[in-house]
């Protein structure tokens, strides 16, 4: 790779590329409301076509946001890239210092909804590939690029889409693609570059209890069943005060760490006291600390009450006996514990404990995924980091957050995934004043150039 020519191109075209970045940010694309989705898919398709890619806008289901699928370059070796063109809703608007869809540069950062999640990452990759093609000639391998438009609402149609297009998501002879570059990534609190090889899964449910036919005067409590109490009693059977999840069979589906996974976890920096200070607590749950806390954060399932609602919560007093009560719960999942298993075990658990009347409404989920932590994809990503950032990156076994990684890894034959990006801890993804540090974007393009080079070299 001619690094000098690559860098010189980025410098010479900096203004135009930055304008292109802003064009992506000016186009709203809110999956939750559908605002601007079709226009955004068209913009991404146009931009990738201009790169020389073969591009298709492929429907998912009905008029749900389509997938933009692009292929560029040739070769037996293949790299899959996953990004998304949708963003979170910009509200609350009054908390933005500049309008969410008017990209604004302040203090070396570009502010707009999607600047980090995920248009910043997408544009960094597009611009790096443009620079590669302009200065190095052809791509040294084939790139397949999947850009979906529903990531921010839980990718409800992605798995079925992948199932329908499975042939595209493997090599012509049926072997799995050699590696996948995931949509997110970046730097931690101490400015260390990170590589992430997996995600926790999630199972999100709403529990509903219906009691009397309508809210009653609370004087009837002596005789009338209370939906809120019933919900509380049901919830109380799910987890105990020692943080142990009590759903029978739950932990049977949690596998052991492999030695390689454990080594990654042990090597991960974990600034325990700083986290506690930031959260304003003296101790983590159960007093866990050190490696046990790391293991818990990255490799233990959780059961979380995300919200509770019932009865009167307004100002002052209202003596009412609520007819209905509901709770939203998420379970963060580790490998082998799938959303399907959780739903099944939770139903059986509630039935067994006398709560057959508690309804479970499934609101979405993903399986967990942990990819090979020493795959060639990871090695290429590490070498590129050493070249561009001059540091050995921190390997993060998996993100405690979730994403559709299983569909693009184990499900398509075991494609090794690595997440490497440009985000920083104050990116404010999903929040007002979302931003990207421009220097991270500039370095990020050089990183992608180095990654292409390193990935090409691996046999
Ligand atoms: Zn997001």
Segment 338-347, tens digit of pLDDT: 999 999 999 9
Specify whether 250 is located in the same domain as 337.
yes
Kindly tell me if the per-residue pLDDT of 401 is higher than 90. no
What is the domain-level CATH number for residue 433? 3.40.630.10
Q: Is the pLDDT of residue 402 over 90?
A: no
The backbone region for 340, taken as left when phi is positive above 0, alpha when psi lies in -120 to 50, beta otherwise, is alpha
In-domain check, residue 286:
no
pLDDT digit string (tens) for 2-44? 999 999 999 999 999 999 999 999 999 999 999 999 999 999 9
249 and 313, same domain (yes or no): yes
Query: Would you call the peptide bond into 118 cis, given omega within 30 degrees of 0 as the criterion?
Result: yes
State in Å: Cα 283 to ligand 1 middle: 29
Q: How far is the CA of 452 from the centre of ligand 1 (A)?
A: 25
- Residue 272: inside a domain, yes or no? no
Determine which helix (DSSP H) or strand (DSSP E) holds 333, and give its type and residue range: strand 324-333
In a domain, 260, yes or no: no
Phi first, then psi: what are they for 70, rounded to 5°? -135, 145
Total domains in the chain come to: 2
**381 & 241 share domain:** no
Q: Which domain holds residue 360?
A: 201-254+300-366
Residue 183 domain-assigned (yes or no):
yes
Q: Does 136 share its domain with 235?
A: no
Average pLDDT over residues 264-289: 96
Instruction: Show which of 366, 392, 408 is a domain's final residue.
Output: 366
- Residue 239 and residue 158 share a domain: no
**Any idea which residue has 């052991």 for tokens?**
256
Q: How far is the CA of 459 from the centre of ligand 1 (A)?
A: 34
Measured in angstroms, how far is the CA atom of residue 117 from the centroid of ligand 1? 5
Per-residue pLDDT tens for 152-175? Answer: 999 999 999 999 999 999 999 999
- How far does the centroid of ligand 1 lie from the alpha carbon of residue 321, in Å? 39
The answer to whether the predicted template modeling score (pTM) of the entire model surpasses 0.85 is yes
Average pLDDT in the chain: 97
Ligand 1 center from residue 214 Cα (angstroms): 39
Q: State both tokens at 367.
A: 């399986």
Domain boundary among 366, 389, 408: 366
Quick check: 379 and 458 in contact, CB under 8 A? yes
Going from the C-alpha of 282 to that of each of 75, 219, 350, the distances in angstroms are 55, 42, 34
Is the confidence at residue 188, as pLDDT, over 90?
yes
185 lies in the same domain as 74:
yes
Report the CATH number that the domain containing residue 231 is assigned in CATH. 3.30.70.360
Does 31 map to a domain? yes
Give residue 430 CA to ligand 1 midpoint distance, Å. Answer: 6
């Amino acid at each position: 790779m001619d690094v000098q020519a690559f860098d010189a191109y980025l410098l010479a075209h900096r203004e135009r590329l930055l304008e292109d970045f802003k064009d992506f940010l000016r186009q709203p694309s809110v999956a939750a409301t559908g605002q601007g989705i079709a226009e955004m898919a068209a913009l991404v398709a146009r931009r990738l076509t201009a790169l020389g890619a073969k591009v298709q806008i492929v429907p998912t289901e009905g008029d749900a946001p389509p997938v933009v699928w692009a292929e560029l370059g040739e070769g037996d070796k293949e790299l899959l890239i996953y990004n998304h063109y949708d963003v979170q809703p910009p509200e609350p608007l009054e908390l933005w210092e500049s309008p969410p869809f008017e990209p604004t540069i302040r203090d070396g950062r570009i502010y707009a909804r999607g600047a980090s999640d995920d248009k910043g990452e997408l544009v960094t990759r597009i611009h790096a590939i443009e620079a590669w093609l302009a200065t190095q000639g052809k791509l040294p391998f084939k790139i397949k690029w999947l850009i979906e438009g529903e990531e921010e609402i839980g990718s409800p149609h992605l798995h079925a889409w992948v199932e329908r297009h499975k042939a595209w998501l493997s090599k012509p002879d049926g072997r799995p693609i050699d590696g996948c570059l995931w949509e997110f990534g970046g730097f931690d609190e101490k400015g260390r570059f990170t590589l992430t090889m997996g995600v926790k899964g999630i199972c999100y449910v709403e529990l509903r209890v219906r009691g009397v036919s309508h809210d009653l005067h609370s004087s009837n409590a002596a005789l009338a069943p209370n939906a809120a109490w019933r919900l509380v009693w049901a919830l109380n059977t799910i987890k105990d005060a020692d943080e142990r999840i009590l759903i029978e069979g739950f932990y049977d589906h949690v596998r052991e760490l492999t030695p390689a996974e454990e080594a990654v976890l042990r090597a991960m920096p974990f600034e325990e006291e700083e986290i506690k200070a930031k959260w304003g607590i003296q101790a983590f749950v159960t007093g866990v600390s050190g490696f046990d806390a790391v293991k818990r954060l990255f490799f233990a399932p959780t059961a979380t009450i995300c919200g509770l609602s019932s009865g009167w919560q307004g100002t002052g007093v209202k003596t009412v006996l609520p007819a209905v009560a509901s709770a939203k719960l998420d379970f963060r999942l580790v490998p082998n514990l799938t959303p399907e298993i959780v739903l099944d075990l939770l139903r059986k658990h509630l039935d067994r404990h006398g709560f057959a009347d508690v309804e479970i409404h499934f609101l979405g989920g993903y399986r967990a995924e942990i990819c090979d932590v020493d795959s060639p994809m990871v090695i290429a990503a590490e070498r590129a980091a050493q070249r561009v950032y001059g540091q050995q990156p921190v390997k993060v076994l998996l993100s405690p957050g979730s994403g559709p990684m299983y569909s693009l890894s184990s499900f398509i034959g075991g494609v090794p995934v690595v997440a490497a990006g440009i985000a920083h801890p104050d990116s404010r993804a999903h929040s007002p004043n979302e931003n990207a540090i421009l220097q991270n974007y500039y370095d990020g393009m050089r990183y992608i150039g180095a990654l292409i080079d390193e990935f090409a070299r691996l046999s």
